[in-house]
Structure 1
Amino acid sequence: MYDLMFIKEAPLDHVFNSEHDHWKEFGGTFNYLRMTIDNCMEAGHFKGHEPEALSYMIWATVHGLVSLNIRKRCEVVLPHRQENIVADGLEEFYKILDRL
């Protein structure tokens, strides 16, 4: 399902060419992330960062973690770390965000 939603091009071609607005809802998740970043910035977080670029970086990082795991690309890390590397990587990413 993840491949269908985020990797394969053909479904997106159909979505972009569809005349029905309900097919355009796929952008809702990114819009929600962008809104969350905007709210965080209004509260004083992420000073000096550009909200659209920061939203995209967060979206792309999480997408990358998931894609690597689904495609069995986590085998490059030490064998005893493979089971938890996605969760541990996400925790490291949170630490980076906390410093912004």
Structure 2
Amino acid sequence: MGIKERKERHREDFKARILQAAKKLFVTDGYEATSIRKIAAEIEFSPTTIYLYYKDKTDIAYALHQEGFGLMRERFSALAYVDDPFERLKAMGRGYIQFAIDHPDFYELMFIMKEPMQYLQAHHPEDEWEEGEQVFNTLMQTVEGCKAHGYFSSMPTEEMAMLSWSVVHGLCSLHITSHFKHIAEKCSDIELVKQDTLLESVFGAYLQLLERLK
């Protein structure tokens, strides 16, 4: 490996350390309470060094946002081989939920925190939301396939795709923010299901509704 390659690897490794530290602090301390100085202290470097790689903490938040979408696209890419579009739609929902369970920190950065979108609007107002567009277009294509098989025939593709995303996102948000846990623990008079299966059961009810839309 030459000097140029070693420098590039060092640069990428250091950026990864910055992002990992920032992700931890954003989730544990909150975005507002996290500063470049705190991120620098976490990795035992000076704040000045971090500014060599990122302009500010919104730049860091957006970089994490992009990294999370990369992980999500990798997970969804395997579903392209599911021939039946309705089964693919259900699998996408399950994969989306599992992503939120496996990566709650990334999920919060991608879909709950407002800062990454504010960064995009402030620094690249002329650009589309490429990360989200790619995932949403995959969902749109799957809904189109479902319509070709007789599902959702009376609903516009865009509205059905947005409805599907909204429902599953709502379930994920309730889960990772512990709202489901609170309901299961405190609302004993509501005979839902046990806490550890509540998310799965509500998602199952959603799939039953989709079946009836054929």
Q: Which amino acid aligns with 2:204?
A: E
Give the alignment's TM-score, normalised by structure 1.
Answer: 0.85
1:14-34 Cα distance to aligned partner (Å, 9 max, x none) = 234338x7x622221111111
Tell whether 2:183 aligns with 1:76: yes
How do residues 1-100 of structure 1 correspond to structure 2 at under 5 angstroms? Answer: 1-16=106-121, 17-18=123-124, 24-74=130-180, 75-77=182-184, 81-100=194-213
Q: CA deviation at 1:98?
A: 0.7
* Cα distance, 1:82 vs structure 2: 1.4
Tell me the SS of whatever aligns to 2:196: coil
Aligned sequence identity (%): 30
Q: Which moved more, 1:25-34 or 1:74-83?
A: 74-83
Distance (Å, rounded) in 2 between the aligned partners of 1:52 and 1:24:
17
Structure 1 residue runs of 4+, over 4 Å off? none
CA contact (8 A) 1:34 1:52 kept: yes
CA distance in 2, matches of 1:15, 1:85: 35
List alignment gaps of at least 5 residues for structure 1: none
Q: What are structure 2's unaligned runs of at least 5 residues?
A: 1-105
Higher gyration radius (CA): 2
CA distance in 2, matches of 1:15, 1:27: 13
The aligned length equals 100
CA distance in 1 between partners of 2:135 and 2:179 (Å): 25
1:49: how far off?
Answer: 1.3
Q: Distance in 1 between matches of 2:169 and 2:131?
A: 18
1:27-76: per-residue Cα shift (whole Å, max 9, x none)?
Answer: 21111111110111122211211211111111000000000000000121
TM-score (norm 2): 0.42
Q: Please, what is the CA RMSD of the aligned residues?
A: 2.3
CA distance in 2, matches of 1:60, 1:27: 15
The DSSP-based 3-state class of the residue aligned with 1:45 is coil
